Amino acid sequence: MSYVTTKDGVQIFFKDWGPKNAQPLVFHHGWPLNADDWDAQMLFFVSHGYRVVAFDRRGHGRSSQVSEGHDMDHYAADASAVVEHLDLKNSIHIGHSTGGGQVARYVAKFGQPQGRVAKAVLISAVPPLMVKTAGNPEGTPVEVFDGFRKALAENRSQFFLDVPAGPFYGFNRPGAKVSQGVIQNWWRQGMMGSTKAHYEGIKAFSETDQTEDLKAIKVPTLVMAGDDDQVVPYKTGALLQAKLIKGSTLKVYPGFSHGMCTVNADVINADLLAFIRG
């Protein structure tokens, strides 16, 4: 198994597939999952000749279950550790949900200053700020995130079945085509990680104001979201991202859920490929 050790001693697990001289695509997963959540994209893009890299966030999947550093600054620094270890250049960074926040901070703080990033993609991503505040009146009330914390602390295993069986993939919608395999795979990925990392990660993805990260992004950026996203509402996520990132491209998919990379992989992969090649 492949690992890189960060400056603060955390082992970050990564996958690195495809030709080493090909353009690299780096995938950043959502909460509370791991690099396996990108299976449908990794297989597709490696078959199209790209070098594909994905890694498990600290405390998630196969990376170290450390006590500290479950915040967006450490997430971005860990991403940079993987990129620097593999010496990736001209790379395209693709982030889903919390991973979208990770991409925004990575690109702003590391990727652009180091000249390593060519393009970025934010999919159903959490920036600029999820939680409702005086300055963000359309955000999600903190009580919702407190509910996540309570459910996780009381019965993480059940909570990690309820989320994918319900809002994450839109399986709670009338007429939805429910996949038990997708639900169980979400549960499997979640339960591989640390409950402390997951608990503290809720604050990281919901309360980190990334307005300045988005404003700092200068590379071509694709913003993607489903208009039936029940986890990260597109009106307070994707629409604001597109406004804050100059020259970005916005694609909103009618009826698509938060987990559209998995359940609508054919559509998402085709659009990603067109953007990457464009």
DSSP letter for each residue of 57-116: PTTSTTS---SS--SHHHHHHHHHHHHHHHT--SEEEEEETHHHHHHHHHIIIIIHHHT-
Instruction: Give mean pLDDT, residues 182-200.
Output: 98
Distance of alpha carbon 10 from alpha carbon 162, whole angstroms: 30
Q: What pLDDT is recorded for position 258?
A: 98
Residue 3, pLDDT score: 98
Share of the chain above pLDDT 70, in %: 100
Q: What pLDDT, on a 0 to 100 scale, did the predictor assign at position 1?
A: 77
Distances (CA, A) of 108 to 6, 79, 218, 227, 256: 19, 12, 9, 27, 28
User: Mean pLDDT throughout 230-246?
Assistant: 98
Q: Which of 29, 60, 93, 258 is catalytic?
A: 258
Predicted confidence (pLDDT) per residue in 96-149, tens digit:
999 999 999 999 999 999 999 999 999 999 999 999 999 999 999 999 999 999
pLDDT band, residue 226 (cuts 50/70/90):
very high
**Confidence check: pLDDT of 238 > 80:** yes
Over residues 14-18, mean pLDDT: 98
Is 64 an annotated catalytic residue?
A: no
| pTM metric for this prediction | 0.98
Active site residue 87: no
User: In degrees to the nearest 10, what's the CA dihedral of 58, 30, 188, 38?
Assistant: -100
Could you tell me the pLDDT band of residue 160, with boundaries at 50, 70 and 90?
very high
Distance CA 111, CA 221 (A): 13
Q: What is the largest CA-CA distance in the chain?
A: 49
91 strand-pairing partners: 117
Decide if pLDDT at 22 tops 90: yes
Contact 116, 89 (CB under 8 A): yes
What is the residue-averaged pLDDT of the chain? Answer: 98
The pLDDT of residue 40 is 98
In percent, the amount of the chain with pLDDT more than 90 equals 100
Give the Cα separation of 123 and 103 in Å (integer). 10
pLDDT for position 204: 98
Kindly tell me if the per-residue pLDDT of 73 is higher than 80: yes
Measured over the CA atoms of residue 73, residue 64, residue 207 and residue 223, the dihedral's sign is positive
| Active-site residue, from 97, 194, 248, 257 | 97
**Is 157 considered catalytic here?**
no
List the catalytic residue out of 96, 229, 248, 257: 229
